[in-house]
């Protein structure tokens, strides 16, 4: 078990979603801040766990949080473990971090200079097909309303504009 602490961060209450990760000190762009760790599982097992969590959420048995992270074409990381502090980094449509997979390790890296006290975030980049299941609460001026990969933003914006004109 690897404890993912970092000299750069602290977990606190977030206005985005419950808990969040905040900069304890200034973090320069390009800095590897924290590794996203957990149990390495096959894609098949990841799908099983996702479906199980989704079903429990539908039955109001659990809150439905999923911490599965794509590692490569064969494996995912299930970050739903107590020693994975990185699981508390929230999504944002205007993120200050990005994810970088290096030699089989998932790193959260500063995309820009981050000031002490700022909340860390990255784009979770969900598929367009499931966007309606994932409303965004980031509150930034760039928010598109849903947690979805940036490549799908034009398509989503067109859809939302059509909906708005129909009202």
Q: What is the pLDDT of residues 70-111, one digit of tens each?
A: 999 999 999 999 999 999 999 999 999 999 999 999 999 999
Asked if residue 3 has pLDDT above 60, the reply is no
CA distance 65 to 81: 12
Q: Give the model's pLDDT for residue 6.
A: 83
Question: What integer pLDDT is reported at residue 165 of this predicted model?
Answer: 82
What is the predicted pLDDT for the residue at 52?
Answer: 85
Residue 124 has a CB neighbour count (10 Å cut-off) of: 17
User: Rounded distance, CA 28 to CA 87, Å?
Assistant: 21
Entry pTM = 0.87
Determine the pLDDT at residue 113: 98
State both tokens at 50: 């996702």
16 or 2, which is more confident: 16
Confidence of residue 41 (pLDDT cuts 50, 70, 90): very high
Query: DSSP secondary-structure letter at 30?
Result: T
């Amino acid at each position: 078990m690897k404890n993912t602490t970092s000299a750069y961060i602290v977990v606190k209450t977030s206005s985005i979603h419950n808990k969040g990760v905040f900069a304890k000190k200034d973090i320069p762009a390009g800095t590897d801040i924290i590794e996203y760790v957990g149990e390495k599982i096959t894609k098949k097992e990841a799908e099983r766990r996702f479906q199980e969590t989704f079903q429990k959420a539908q039955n109001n048995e659990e809150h439905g949080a999923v911490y599965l992270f794509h590692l490569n074409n064969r494996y995912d990381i299930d970050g739903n473990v107590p020693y994975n502090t990185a699981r508390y980094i929230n999504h944002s449509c205007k993120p200050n971090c990005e994810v970088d997979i290096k030699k089989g390790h998932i790193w959260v890296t500063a995309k820009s200079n981050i000031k002490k006290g700022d909340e860390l975030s990255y784009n979770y980049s969900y598929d367009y097909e499931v966007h309606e299941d994932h409303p965004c609460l980031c509150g930034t001026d760039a928010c598109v309303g849903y947690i979805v990969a940036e490549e799908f933003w034009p398509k989503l914006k067109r859809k939302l504009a059509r909906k708005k004109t129909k009202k």
